[in-house]
Amino acid sequence: MIVKKQSDHVILTNPLCGEIREILCGSDNGPLNIAVVENIGKTTAHYHEGFEEIYFVLNGSLTLQLYDPKTGRVWDQTLGRQDEIERKYELCVIPKGVHHKVIEASPQNVPCVVCTPPFDLADEHKSERL
């Protein structure tokens, strides 16, 4: 059994995404990482070759811009509250290789970010497409 209290969180600064509270690390549980970001802002476009990233909005809203190099498709995806309608707990699974960035976020927001397999900073590549 694993129990993580707020005092156990590892606070990291990611050069592309800002401050991240890592709750569960790959070394804790093996197959995934779980982190939260309080009040994420715009991020730098990037992609990962070795892991999927799941953005799960616990509070507020954010809009991701995505590019799939397999299809050439570029699109925006909004998750969470929009137009004063409460839509908590929405998520987006970003497959390996899909370029992504946060282009807009509500002033108060809390996305939970899950990486599987675990996050690897060396596998964070800046996007030349977005």
What per-residue confidence (pLDDT) applies to 89? Answer: 87
What per-residue confidence (pLDDT) applies to 82? Answer: 61
The helix/strand/coil state of 3 is coil
What per-residue confidence (pLDDT) applies to 7? Answer: 87
What per-residue confidence (pLDDT) applies to 39? Answer: 93
What per-residue confidence (pLDDT) applies to 127? Answer: 97
Kindly report the pTM of this predicted structure.
0.86
Look at the chain and report how many structural domains it folds into. 1
What per-residue confidence (pLDDT) applies to 70? Answer: 97
Q: Does some domain include residue 57? A: yes
Q: Does some domain include residue 83? A: yes
What is the torsion angle, in degrees rounded to the nearest 10, for the CA atoms of residue 43, residue 14, residue 33 and residue 73?
30
Q: For the beta carbon of residue 10, count every other beta carbon within 10 angstroms.
A: 12
Q: Does some domain include residue 20? A: yes
> Is the preceding peptide bond at 117 cis, omega within 30 degrees of 0?
yes
What per-residue confidence (pLDDT) applies to 83? Answer: 62
Q: Does some domain include residue 46? A: yes
What per-residue confidence (pLDDT) applies to 58? Answer: 92
What per-residue confidence (pLDDT) applies to 6? Answer: 84
Instruction: Quote the domain boundaries for residue 46.
Output: 6-126
What per-residue confidence (pLDDT) applies to 104? Answer: 96
pLDDT averaged over 10-residue windows placed end to end, the chain, 130 residues = 83 85 80 92 97 94 97 96 71 97 94 94 95
Q: Does some domain include residue 41? A: yes
The CATH number of whichever domain residue 32 belongs to comes to 2.60.120.10
Q: Does some domain include residue 25? A: yes
Q: Does some domain include residue 1? A: no
Q: Does some domain include residue 75? A: yes
